[in-house]
Structure 1
Amino acid sequence: MEKSKVYYTSMRTGLDTNLPKKLKKLILKAGIKDIDFDNKFTAVKIHFGEPGNLAYLRPNYAKVVVDTIKELGGKPFLTDCNTLYVGGRKNALDHMESAYENGYSPFSTGCHVLIADGLKGTDDLEVPVEGGEYVKAAKIGRAIMDADIFITLSHFKGHESTGFGGCLKNIGMGCGSRRGKMEMHSAGKPYVEQEVCIGCRRCTRECAQDAITVENKVAFIDHNKCVGCGRCIGVCPQDAICPASDESNDILNCKIAEYSKAVVAGRSNFHISLVIDISPYCDCHPENDAPIVPDVGMFASFDPVALDVACADAVNAQPILPGSLLDESEHAGHDHFGAVSPTTNWRSCVEHAEKIGLGSMEYELIEVE
């Protein structure tokens, strides 16, 4: 089997170039120009960063990708889905404000922002997963599935549940609607933190299964009736309804791989990962810790599995930065992500992704000067 091609360029620049120019050269060399963009809607999946976190990708990188797609005839838009947890991206209005606060406006990036799963995270499509072992139909934000072409621009960094957050995490978890995210995170159903609930009954009006009742101004969820759609989480004004989050990390990673396959199957897709500001945890946090290793560079490929493996290998080849969380870890070794989050196994995602035919873990690294 032929190895997948992964293209790479360092973060070094000279008087005759800069990082935006290097990124454009990288993605052109990697073959983005071979995609037929002619008048096609192109979703550029990105993480806009939780307000308070400063490790997220600068919008300047997104503009390079957007401008290149436009030059090739496409109609790009930046997109993400709402979060399952409390924060600045829980609904589309807050999500767009967070994106704008972090610099992702049409004026800075050259295209519009669309929150793919709608106002409350309920606008999704069920997409079959061919060969899925854990998921038969992934719940994906509608705007992402409506696009003709799918592109990712990912910030490669650590993650406390999956080992690292890279391309597959950006696709699988990032494109899941609220009920999709619940399906990946949980083997159970939502519950009510009763000391927070005010008994406003918004959840009862939203529940199509009549699974929620209110007694003495406190909501209760009947798990025999609940189907785990997550709509109640989105409408609760007190954030009193929480997902179970009881799935093992290995199965979470496998579900992410299966969701990723549902997103990319049957249409042109291309993937870019920037291995910079490598914080130990996700950009979903409203803060970021110091980087655990030095900046590595920019990577691109048509194969999201090979891309993630190449980025992980590159990070693990780096020296540990003094004073970082990794430097303080008792588990320091050849796997930097395992040292930071020792209960995780990032290989479970890429191995399962390869198993279900999403891509190959074998790659050829091609450097672009």
Structure 2
Amino acid sequence: MGSKVYFINLRSNSKKNNLSNKLKRLFDSAKLNKILEKGEQTAVKLHFGEKGNHGYIHPVFVRQIVDKIKEYEAKPFLTDTNTLYTGSRTNSVDHLITAIENGFAYSVVGAPIIIADGLFSKNSIEVEVNLKNFDKVKIAGEIFNSNSMIVLSHCKGHALAGFGGAIKNLAMGCATASGKQMQHSDAKPDVIKKKCVGCGICVNWCPKKCIEIIDGKAKIDHDKCIGCGECTTACRLRAIKVQWATNNDVFLEKMAEYAYGAVKNKKEKVGYINFVMNVTPLCDCVPWSDAPIVRDIGVLASLDPVALDKACYDLINNEAPLPNTEINVNINPGEDKFKHIHKNVNPSYIFDYAEKIGLGSKEYEIIEVK
């Protein structure tokens, strides 16, 4: 018998059974209230969506979770971290504007937004994990400082991970920008000389003092560089090249280790809800949303992120693919759709490794909530 994963389908024939009310029953059935205490600050970790993307979780659904947290007298705030890539969520000002334009205004969701890693992703706490790839991980300060956390995740594909759910939301979503860089790449950064103005900000931020200004341009000593990613995020002109290349299995291991670090100080204080709707081939960081690859299935909740993600992954793969999508050949229900789309990735490896390091269990029992 594995971890309990609670499920609601999307069928409805009355006000009592509309999705908003079913979400509230799901919250209670999964006993997510057990992680909450009166008066404590509860982070609602989600993805606000890049501008141009519409696959993210609908703000009205988020409101139902916020209302449940308030019902138990905790104090919810919506949160995410700034991105490593250049887009509409690179810094907190642009990130807040994007979130509000995508529907997450206080008047809609009933909770304030706090970007957890600060204006330029410098609000960082090092968490000791002592795992295979990392001794320490860089977690956004206000996620670390929150008393409890509800993690709301949109299940979809991802170019490097293959599949994205709760584990990816914890790993990338709770990391500072330099932590994201460390997950993505084993390479060391390079300066784009035509963009560099020699301002010296990267010199001041480098923890190993391996950057100097020579002839008006930054130069990185790769022999001293530890690949921490601080310089890539410190440079406001994006004159230091972000490195994305990595071994995919190592990337999945690193994500699992960051997810582990994100919740290490919150034992029995984190709950998870996955929305298996609008299952797009790529994540919500891209400024578009492709056609969903399977029908909308439902919403699942658990206190175990590994069991929850594995259940969602299996449900999606057991579906017949929809026509006219990224899956452009006939594949049978049960075949791995994410591996078909992202051919160089073994998406299920992250479940094995996450279980190995103690993040959760691959074994699950699905319980349908009526």
TM-score normalized by structure 2?
0.94
- Residue 367 of structure 1 aligns with which residue? 368
What pairs with 1:4-43 in structure 2 (closer than 5 Å)? 4-16=3-15, 17-43=17-43
- Residue 241 of structure 1 aligns with which residue? 240
Give deviations 1:243-268, integer Å, cap 9, x for gaps.
Answer: 22232111111111111112223341
- Residue 78 of structure 1 aligns with which residue? 78
SS at match of 2:291: coil
> Is 1:191 aligned with 2:190?
yes
- Residue 350 of structure 1 aligns with which residue? 351
- Residue 315 of structure 1 aligns with which residue? 316
Task: Return closer, same or farther for 1:35/1:205 CA change in 2, 3 Å cut-off.
Answer: closer
The alpha-carbon deviation at position 216 of structure 1 amounts to: 4.8
The alpha-carbon deviation at position 226 of structure 1 amounts to: 2.8
- Residue 227 of structure 1 aligns with which residue? 226
Distance in 2 between the 1:103 and 1:273 partners? 19
Distance in 2 between the 1:311 and 1:5 partners? 13
The alpha-carbon deviation at position 353 of structure 1 amounts to: 0.6
**Does the Cα contact within 8 Å between 1:292 and 1:327 map onto a contact in 2?**
no
- Residue 148 of structure 1 aligns with which residue? 147
The alpha-carbon deviation at position 327 of structure 1 amounts to: 2.5
Task: Return closer, same or farther for 1:343/1:333 CA change in 2, 3 Å cut-off.
Answer: farther
Distance in 1 between the 2:206 and 2:33 partners? 46
Give deviations 1:108-146, integer Å, cap 9, x for gaps.
Answer: 11111111111111211111215x111111110010010
Aligned pairs, number: 367
**Does the Cα contact within 8 Å between 2:91 and 2:120 map onto a contact in 1?**
yes
Q: Structure 2: where are the runs of 5+ without partners? A: none
- Residue 303 of structure 2 aligns with which residue? 302
**Does the Cα contact within 8 Å between 2:47 and 2:80 map onto a contact in 1?**
yes
Amino acid at match of 2:233: G
**Does the Cα contact within 8 Å between 2:186 and 2:227 map onto a contact in 1?**
no
Task: Return closer, same or farther for 1:14/1:361 CA change in 2, 3 Å cut-off.
Answer: same
- Residue 161 of structure 1 aligns with which residue? 160
Amino acid at match of 2:300: F
The alpha-carbon deviation at position 275 of structure 1 amounts to: 0.5
Give deviations 1:185-219, integer Å, cap 9, x for gaps.
Answer: 11122222334434444433443544333445543
**Does the Cα contact within 8 Å between 1:66 and 1:111 map onto a contact in 2?**
yes
TM-score normalized by structure 1?
0.94
The alpha-carbon deviation at position 77 of structure 1 amounts to: 0.8
Question: Sequence identity, in percent?
Answer: 43
Distance in 2 between the 1:206 and 1:236 partners? 9
Amino acid at match of 1:111: A
**Does the Cα contact within 8 Å between 2:66 and 2:110 map onto a contact in 1?**
yes
Q: Is 323-332 or 169-178 further displaced after alignment?
A: 323-332
Misfit runs of 4+, over 6 Å: 329-333
SS at match of 1:327: coil
In angstroms, what is the RMSD of aligned CA positions? 1.9
**Does the Cα contact within 8 Å between 1:141 and 1:175 map onto a contact in 2?**
yes
> Is 1:125 aligned with 2:125?
yes
Task: Return closer, same or farther for 1:211/1:311 CA change in 2, 3 Å cut-off.
Answer: same
- Residue 293 of structure 1 aligns with which residue? 294
Task: Return closer, same or farther for 1:129/1:204 CA change in 2, 3 Å cut-off.
Answer: closer
**Does the Cα contact within 8 Å between 1:172 and 1:257 map onto a contact in 2?**
yes
Amino acid at match of 2:29: K
**Does the Cα contact within 8 Å between 1:158 and 1:278 map onto a contact in 2?**
yes
Q: Structure 1: where are the runs of 5+ without partners? A: none
Amino acid at match of 1:179: S
Amino acid at match of 2:19: L
**Does the Cα contact within 8 Å between 2:321 and 2:333 map onto a contact in 1?**
no
Q: Is 195-204 or 102-111 further displaced after alignment?
A: 195-204
Distance in 1 between the 2:60 and 2:221 partners? 48
Distance in 1 between the 2:32 and 2:268 partners? 14
Give deviations 1:12-70, integer Å, cap 9, x for gaps.
Answer: 11123321111111111111123342111111110110111111111111111111001
